[in-house]
Amino acid sequence: MTICAALIVAAGRGQRFGGDLPKQYARLKGERLLRRTLRAFCGHPKVQRVVVAIHPEDAAIFAEVAAGFARVSAVHGGATRQDSVRLGLEALGADAPDLVLIHDGARPMVSAGLIDAVIAELSAGPGAADGVLPALAVIDTMKRLGADGRICETLSRENLVRAQTPQGFRFRAILEAHRKFAGESLTDDAAVLERAQGQVVTVPGDETNIKVTTMEDLARLAAVLTENRTGQGFDVHRFGPGDHVMLCGLKVPHSQGLIGHSDADVALHAGTDAILGAFGAGDIGQHFPPSDPRWRGAASDRFVRHAYDLLLERGGALIHLDFTIICERPKVAPHRAAMVASVARILSIDQSRVSVKATTTEGLGFTGRQEGIAAQAVATIRF
């Protein structure tokens, strides 16, 4: 069996990043970047060991970051990235693996698929290269500046690629190359192997595998990780005596009313369940039990507002709330704009985030027989 180790480089001080801590310890959605990076490698079935090159001053925070991960050990890095990698490789050499993946600690979005692709290319048989790196095309035109700051040359993009990590190597080959060229300041490990006349090939990189060097990079990653979710709600109320129905918080005159414990606003009930459903917060019956006398005759705007406030408390945002009201009578179309305005007012959101539609069931079923009104709602939220 091929033994594959990962060497994570996390000893840098990140001068370009600012902040109190080196960038690899910055938080992304509450989790430190290095912990997310470790999770990618520790959770990969083809990676047996993980060594992390850290700065000696970071021992305490590293212990926090690595808590709970098996097969992870730390080694003190050096003054440059190249030194840190060499020291990490020497540490691994005590029980040498066949392959090593060398990866930037501040590149937390590395996917299992990319790790697989690098390992597969290294394992491609007798003719396999000694080194593999994930590469991306260069999209922008590249210019070379002269000493006076003016452009002196336009480079051809044709044979240029951007190198990412993890870069994978046959362990012996990269260890020997690093020993031989120690003390130089080569910026990636493929360059060290190239220097030793080793052959390096590429696999397709991944645009989301961003290396965090600035606060702006961190913001880009947060945007990549932003999660949209959808919830749906459905409700029915039966017609009874009355002279109006409540729909979307709006009083709509009708020859009958809707029966319910509260004001029987079937649309807002569906809307409440849609919002609650989008973040797994139960349903309207749990939050406002029909058995509770407090909710007798209650205006249903309280229910939907409560669901929305819970969402805000959890750090979510409501992107859109879309209603479908299903009935033969009353006709919804004349009230549609007022219903949209009503929901937007109840939730203090822009009207562009609310949609109200209506349909009949062509005279079929309970809504067709005008025994009651049904409503559906779909909420789109973002965390």
Q: How far is C-alpha 263 from the chain's CA centre?
A: 40
As to burial, measured by CB atoms within 10 angstroms (0-12 exposed, 13-18 middle, 19+ buried), residue 231 is buried
Of 217-225, 267-275, 358-366, 370-378, the window that binds Mg ion (rule: CB under 5 A) is 267-275
Task: List, as own/partner pairs, every contact residues 18-24 make where C-beta atoms lie below 8 angstroms and the sequence separation is at least 24, other chains included.
Answer: 18/215, 19/215, 21/61, 22/55, 22/58, 23/106, 23/212, 23/213, 23/218, 24/105, 24/106, 24/212
- Which range touches Mg ion (CB under 5 A), out of 116-124, 250-258, 264-272, 323-331? 264-272
Q: Report DSSP letters for 15-40, one per residue.
A: TTT-SSS-GGGSEETTEEHHHHHHHH
CB of 18 or CB of 285, closer to Mg ion: 285
Query: Which range touches Mg ion (CB under 5 A), out of 80-88, 164-172, 228-236, 341-349?
Result: 228-236
The minimum distance between CB 371 and Mg ion, in angstroms, equals 15
Quick one: 6 or 268, whose CB is closer to Mg ion? 268
User: Residue 260 CB, nearest distance to Mg ion (Å)?
Assistant: 6
Tokens of 228: 């949209």
Q: Which residue is nearest to Mg ion (CB)?
A: 269
SS3 259: coil
Stretch that binds Mg ion, among 81-89, 201-209, 266-274, 319-327 (CB under 5 A): 266-274
Identity of the residue, 86 or 269, whose beta carbon is nearer to Mg ion in the bound complex: 269
The encoded tokens of residue 167 equal: 């870069």
- Nearer of residues 104 and 235 to Mg ion, judged by Cβ: 235
The nearest distance, CB 343 to Mg ion, in angstroms, is: 16
Residues 356 and 258: their CA atoms lie apart, in Å, by 19
Q: Nearest distance from residue 308's CB to Mg ion, in Å? A: 17
**Would you say 64 or 292 has its CB closer to Mg ion?**
292
Helix axes 301-313, 336-347, angle to 10 degrees: 50
Work out how close the CB of 288 gets to Mg ion at its nearest, in angstroms, rounded to a whole number: 10
Residue 269 CB, nearest approach to Mg ion (Å): 4
The residues near 1 (Cβ < 8 Å, ≥ 6 apart) are none
Q: Does 235 bind Mg ion (CB under 5 A)?
A: yes
Q: Are 3 and 171 contacting, i.e. CB atoms less than 8 angstroms apart?
A: no
CA distance 324 to 39: 43
Q: Which stretch binds Mg ion (CB under 5 A): 34-42, 83-91, 235-243, 311-319?
A: 235-243
Relative orientation angle of helices 301-313 and 266-278, to the nearest 10 degrees: 10
In the bound state with Mg ion, the residue whose beta carbon lies nearer, of 202 and 272, is 272
Residue 269 contacts Mg ion per CB under 5 A: yes
Residue closer to Mg ion, measured from CB, 209 or 262 = 262
Size, binding site for Mg ion by CB under 5 A: 2
Q: Which residues bind Mg ion (CB under 5 A)?
A: 235, 269
